[in-house]
Amino acid sequence: MTESQRLGPLADPAQFTDALNIAGYAADDLKRLLRAMLTIRFAEEAVADLVETGEAVCPCHLGIGQEAIAVGVSSALRRTDRVYGNHRSHSHYLALGGELFAMYAEILGRKTGASQGMGGSMHLYAPEVGFSGSVPIVGATIPIAVGAGLAAKMDGKGDVAVTYFGDGACEEGVVHESLNMAAVYKLPVLFVCENNLYASHLDIGLRQPSDSTARFAKAHSIPYRVIDGNDVTAVIKAAGELVKAAREGGGPGFLEAVTFRWRGHVGPKEDIDVGVRRKPEILAAWRHRDPVRRLRDSMIEADLVTSVDVEKTCADIKCTVAKAVANARKADYPGTNALLDLVYAPRRHQ
């Protein structure tokens, strides 16, 4: 194993804690990015509250601490691209512009939810913004995204497919089948590995001989970038380059974004007691490498916003989130007919 195939400092939470390099960004763009990341942060905290109170029963997997990846990747995408998620996809859905209300209504099992109240947190769907579906079978949307990429290539309009997965999914065989197919057919697919160094309770050191999943891209001759996933500017740059190449017929790209989830595998707790080798001091260090704080501090340092502005934005977002939750509570449950009516497509009139 060579050093180049390991994450090194990228996996060290004591590193990469300074201000981001935001030179060249317009203030409005940065404000938009900050707002998007804060929205995901507060929206997921509200999900955590719903789980704590017992209102939300379906399994909810929170990605608090990982917001920069979805926001950064989405900045490289357009509405006709096709984005696929996994069990931890609130951020992917929201970063593309998925509705807050529909997400809460879905989590609470209501008819007006993102998936008509049929899927809950793990099954989000918002094709109108390009979010084409998320499922909890680990790795399952990866070949589906390859097929979406095949369709995009056949369409010939320069659209791309994106699949978000974690370091754990790289232990599934289908990842390798999918990388191979995308490479051999030169499909416009962006593979985004959110490497949060954990799969459920096990850290990557107990599961793989190297902590860098980009070695799988290398093995399949796919261009890759390995970046700090808690630096939204790094994500934007790397995703932008890989997506541009895919749109122009250069084939797939692989983005390994190193990050850390603050909460447990599922539910609102920090799960220090559940995680093997998941220690309070490591979590504390990663909390300091917070992608939201780093962007906010960088903007304040550059005099683009004041802390009072940011507080105002936070209050505004929290209010919007609370309204969405309240409206979702008032929404109707699906009719019992949905149970059988949604099994097959309605009969077509030919």
Per CB under 8 A, residues contacting another protein are 82, 84, 113-119, 123, 125, 127, 132-133, 135, 137, 140, 142-152, 154-155, 161, 173-174, 177-178, 180-181, 184-185, 342-345, 347-348, 350
Phi, psi dihedral angles at 256 (to 5 degrees): -100, 110
* Shortest CB 150 distance to another protein, Å: 5
311-334 burial by CB neighbour count: b if 16+ within 10 A, else e?
eebbeebbeebeebbeebeebeeb
Least Å distance, CB 350 to another protein, is: 6
Question: Which of 180, 313 has the CB closer to another protein?
Answer: 180
Of 23 and 154, CB closest to another protein: 154
Alpha-carbon torsion (283, 286, 292, 293), positive or negative: positive
Taking the complex as a whole, the smallest distance from the CB of residue 156 to another protein amounts, in Å, to 11
**Between 139 and 268, whose beta carbon lies closer to another protein?**
139
Between residues 190 and 235, which has the closer beta carbon with respect to another protein? 190
Nearest CB to another protein, comparing residues 57 and 206: 57
Q: Which is nearer to another protein, 122 or 236 (CB)?
A: 122
Cβ contact 222:149 at 8 Å: no
**166 versus 268: smaller Cβ distance to another protein:** 166
Strands 198-199 and 202-203, sheet pairing: antiparallel
- Nearest distance, CB of residue 255 and another protein, angstroms: 19
Q: Give strand pairing partners of 255.
A: 192, 225
**CB-wise, 24 or 156, nearer to another protein?**
156
Toward another protein, which CB reaches closer, 25 or 84? 84
Name the residue among 57, 64, 115, 52 with its Cα closest to residue 88: 64
User: SS3 of 166, please?
Assistant: strand
Min CB(277)–another protein separation in Å: 30
Show Cβ contacts of residue 229 under 8 Å, excluding neighbours closer than 6 positions: 66, 68, 69, 194, 195, 235, 257, 258, 259, 291
* Contact between residue 295 and residue 44 where contact means Cβ atoms under 8 Å apart: no
Using CB atoms within 10 Å of the CB of residue 92, give its burial: 0 to 12 exposed, 13 to 18 middle, 19+ buried.
buried
CA 74 to each of CA 44, 83, 91, 232: distance values in angstroms, whole numbers, following the listed order: 18, 9, 10, 11
To another protein, the closest distance from the beta carbon of 205 in angstroms equals 27
Q: Which residue has the tokens 């949604």?
A: 342
Q: Would residue 158 be called left, alpha or beta, if left means φ above 0 and alpha means ψ between -120 and 50 degrees?
A: left
> In angstroms, rounded to a whole number, what is the distance separating the alpha carbons of residues 141 and 268?
25
> Which residues are bridge partners to 84 per DSSP?
133, 163
Q: Is 85 helix (H, G, I), strand (E, B) or coil?
A: strand
State the nearest-atom distance from the C-beta of 215 to another protein, in Å: 19
